[in-house]
Amino acid sequence: MAVLVAYNDSPQGEAALRAAAGEATRRRLPLAVFVLTPQDDETAVPADLAHLLETLPSEVGPPAITYRDPDADPPEAILDEAERTSAELIVIGSRKRTPVGKFLLGSTTQRVLLDASVPVLVIKAQH
């Protein structure tokens, strides 16, 4: 069991990571970070993420970090990672989109909410 956060380098991603760390601490579960931006070198943690991880409370402990395959559909990849890690909770950041934008591009958040077999916590960045 773990708390899984779908992370990207954005204000929403940062807010989601912080919320997931709080939930992991509260639930006494490990934190799993799923980086949505595919990486060329999966051995090096992206600098933005490394900096954020340094600021997390020590109770969280070092999280497991995995990366999305570049060919994988983001919502499906998040759901697959949740299953692989036996996630008890999925935390995902959300941004405002127009109805037309949602229609044309779809909504990762919406698909994860509808298809997840565990609770999903959606976090918006503070303005």
% of the chain at pLDDT higher than 70: 88
Q: Could you state, in order of their start, the residue ranges of all structural domains in the chain?
A: 2-124
Q: How far is CA 8 from CA 26, 46, 47, in A?
A: 23, 10, 12
| Cα distance from N-terminal residue to C-terminal residue, the chain | 32
Q: How large is the average pLDDT for residues 21-42?
A: 91
DSSP state of 37: S
The answer to whether 23 and 84 have CB atoms below 8 angstroms apart is no
Third-level CATH fold of 2-124: Rossmann fold (3.40.50)
Q: How large is the average pLDDT for residues 53-63?
A: 90
Confidence of residue 117 (pLDDT cuts 50, 70, 90): very high
pTM of the model as a whole: 0.88
